[in-house]
Structure 1
């Protein structure tokens, strides 16, 4: 029975079973040891091979399955949805620019809970409103032959709104910046303002957004110059958006320019703030600029140029600050592709949740961290409270920039940029302002091209608070900047400013351009 090679193998199996049976018998105290399906150890030798497998598969069969039953096939792999497969716009972008480029778009994704909350409300049939806070790119500078560039079909923000409106239509249709509020229409308000960054919008965002926005696009990467000075304004801006009663989805979209001292923008340095608050951030530069070494002419396609025959090597004649029509369309489609991805992932999340799910359970909006990430940690974890600044601005009809008294100052505009200006030394203005949290901020234009001079400002009764504010600087771009008075006691103050005869402008220019006054 146990002779030969096969007999030796059988003997080994037999001895293994005997030793195992004795061990189990001793361990469990008798022959009543039960195996699978109620079988006893004493019955094991009387079973068929198939029954032995059912009772004790690792011993009887050795391979974990009855010899006559093939193993079930593995489930077919399910490819996870991604930005290139989620929807038609993403598929088209990936086919045109490559999957690697479009994948690089997402600088930070996070949970996307806030974005998905907004989309879930839209899918439920609630008319929505969308707003943009940004600079001249979002304003549409660089778009040609499409009328009002703020609401031109190619404008990157309009392109996103048009997709949302087509995907989630409202009973009453849609409207751009409607004069009257209606509850049955989808609304888009382009609140972008040229030459303004996060230091402006962190104080004045309420002047430029629709009431109760459902989605807010923030585009300030270019106008926030490189440096750490924008960290606090960006944090205050993001917190304000997340604390709005309408609980909007917030998306940071960073465009890029190629006319500055560095390709890097202020948005690169402040992205850690948006990450901390779980705000998704997209980078057009990260997606597209790596394609340029293979084809330099792409820059001519993406950026605006009034000259029909710009230099294709040096790009002289190309406005490397503002995207052109094609660049805007690519940027807008990138945002659309990201929204397609969110909708596709929401389909899977909601299907897995089964019936009875709620927006709050699947896409929560937790309370903000009780403290500023740009400030020292406070073990008491006392929430800073909602920031409610006041702002008056030259480009606002809601809160116009009107001094209490003035001599020598006048309103002036260049295209869509509005200012209060003076160019005669001795011109004065005075504002009376209320301060609750200790800060007054004056916002003005700086430039090396426009012949700007110096302004001397006093807080009446506070002689040690005097400032000389300079309009000239040696930077290649013209943009709003701020000077501030901090550490003030709550109360009412008079801010009085006078245009000086002295100037830092090498050509002797003395003009000064005011843009806004803010207090906290």
Structure 2
């Protein structure tokens, strides 16, 4: 590893190990393991929250029996590998380590750049299958440090933990320096993960203090943009490698725990099973109802995102859904620096136009991203029609409106 000098810790491991302790801390038992190069203290700091790990051990028990095991990886730009020109992404690095022990492991990657927990809370099964043994979630950067993020993380965890197969869930934590605040979604991550007994593994707690102390070394941990400038929003190759190794180390230790003690689990939460139709989904694509939209709306793809798009005032589009509440995800931006000038639309359910809500695709701040907007909650459970019409009013003078998905439960 090229940046070994600043990843070392004061304690590299004891010179003698007493085997009778039966420790599952890999780098205490075998300090010569290549994954232990980071130092014991840094490895311990990578476990932002450990929890009981009981579902992770059950995953490991299945893998140890030689059965097929599956992992679903959900995340945003870092998981998608944005800015990573060389080397493996964190989940590719992790997979490489795990498949050396478990060749029957299959990993499904559902990375959606610019998205946050509000999307995945409803739409996780539009990017990864819902019958997997484990899910990993990386969303700290795009999640804002607001109360709505806690609600979205709560819904996401209930949706995953409530699946019939009772999968394991691991939260993956990264960080960025390109925002006015450092916290971002980390506060919600830690709070909700602790409540639901979900382990949090990351690089934030041990790399961020190092960068604060040595700001001139920040470029070692982040990627480069198209102009060769350090991109402080997307981690670089060394950070991807370290993150993948830390997750692999944690799973190795849980494998050891699964081998030496009996598994015992309790129910965690009542199930909340939302459904989602998403333009970018292969399994549940968002399909417009009827033909009235055909001349004024189009499917558009840009920078790995896809949406139903129109900029014509009065353009109407409708979608069928079944549920007792519904909302839409739109692409929100401030419109600065490009030709896209976001507009507004009125959205309503069935014939209740007068009770419709105005959805604004304008978002202050530099970072564009998905925006969740509740349209109706509650309504009578059943089949309904969601309709949106572009308005003449606008926060920017433009009328561009991009619908990413519709979610309901």
- TM-score where L is the length of structure 1: 0.69
Partner of 1:295: 214
Encode CA deviations 1:70-99: one digit per residue, 9 max, x unaligned: xxxxx99848453643562441121xxxx3
- Tell me whether 1:167 sits opposite 2:56 in the alignment: no
Partner of 2:377: 486
Q: Deviations over 1:247-301 (max 9, x none)?
A: 3221101111111120002231242221122111123211211111443343212
- Counterpart contact for 1:106–1:283, Cα < 8 Å: yes
Contact 2:329 2:372 in 1 (8 A): yes
Paired residues, number: 382
Deviation at 1:124, TM superposition (A): 1.3
1:415 and 2:349 equivalent?
no
In the alignment, the residues of structure 1 paired with residue 149 and residue 48 of structure 2 have an alpha-carbon distance, to the nearest angstrom, of 19
Q: How far apart, CA to CA, are the structure 2 residues paired with 1:337 and 1:142?
A: 25
Please name the residue that 1:452 is paired with.
Answer: 342
Deviations along 1:164-218, one digit per CA (max 9) or x if unpaired, are 1111123xxxxxxxxxxxxxxx321101211221111111111222353122101
Whose strand proportion is higher, 1 or 2? 2
Structure 2 SS opposite 1:216: strand
Q: Is 2:130–2:163's contact at 8 Å kept on the other side of the alignment? A: no
Partner of 1:199: 118
- Is the Cα contact below 8 Å between 1:85 and 1:91 reproduced in 2? no
CA RMSD of aligned residues (A): 2.2
1:431 aligned residue = 319
Distance 2:84 2:92 in 1: 12
Corresponding residue number in structure 2 for 1:283 = 202
Is 1:342 the equivalent of 2:231?
A: no
Take 1:308 and 1:464, find their aligned partners in 2: how far apart are those partners? 49
CA distance in 1, matches of 2:34, 2:359: 48
2:399 equivalent to 1:510? yes
Unmatched segments (≥5 aa) in structure 2 = 1-17
Q: 1:89 to 1:339 in 2, by over 3 A?
A: farther
| More divergent stretch after superposition (457-466 vs 282-291) | 457-466
Aligned equivalent of 2:388: 497
Task: Select which of 280, 286, 289 maps to 1:395.
Answer: 280
Partners of 2:289 and 2:226 in 1: CA distance: 45
Contact in 2 for aligned 1:444/1:482 (Cα 8 Å): yes
Alpha-carbon distance in 2 for matches of 1:250, 1:444: 27
Indicate conservation of the 8 Å contact 1:89/1:337, yes or no.
no
Report the CA distance between 1:415 and its aligned residue. 3.0
Q: How many angstroms apart in 1 are the aligned matches of 2:316 and 2:109? A: 33
The structure showing larger relative contact order (alpha-carbon pairs under 8 Å, at least 6 residues apart) is 2
Separation of aligned partners in 2, 1:207 and 1:329? 28
* Matching residue of 2:326: 440
2: CA distance between counterparts of 1:203 and 1:308? 36
Residue among 25, 39, 53 paired with 1:82: 25
Alignment of 1:148-187 (within 5 A): 154-170=88-104, 186-187=105-106
SS in 2 for 1:321: strand
Distance 1:514 1:424, change over 3 A: same
Residues 56-75 of structure 1 correspond to what in structure 2 (within 5 A)? Answer: none
Q: Distance in 1 between matches of 2:353 and 2:213?
A: 60
Segments of structure 1 that go 5 or more residues without pairing to the other structure are 1-74, 146-152, 171-185, 310-316, 351-361, 370-383
Could you say if the C-alpha distance between residues 499 and 463 of structure 1 is closer, same or farther in structure 2, counting changes exceeding 3 Å?
closer
What SS does the aligned partner of 2:373 have?
A: strand
Q: What's 1:135 paired with?
A: 76
> Which residue of structure 1 lines up, in the alignment, with residue 4 of structure 2?
none
Q: Distance in 2 between matches of 1:466 and 1:211?
A: 32
Deviation at 1:418, TM superposition (A): 1.1
Q: In structure 1, the residue corresponding to 2:188 is in which secondary structure?
A: helix
Confirm or deny: 8 A CA contact 2:316 2:387 kept in the other structure: yes
Q: CA deviation at 1:303?
A: 1.0
User: Aligned residue for 2:151?
Assistant: 232
Partner of 2:242: 330
- Aligned equivalent of 1:61: none
Match of 2:191 in 1: 272
CA offsets 1:449-505 (integer angstroms, 9 cap, x no match):
342111111223224421111111212211111111212112332222111222102
CA deviation string 1:11-50 (max 9, x = no partner): xxxxxxxxxxxxxxxxxxxxxxxxxxxxxxxxxxxxxxxx
| 2:366 aligned with 1:476 | yes
Equivalent residue in structure 2 for 1:366, among 246, 260, 266: 266
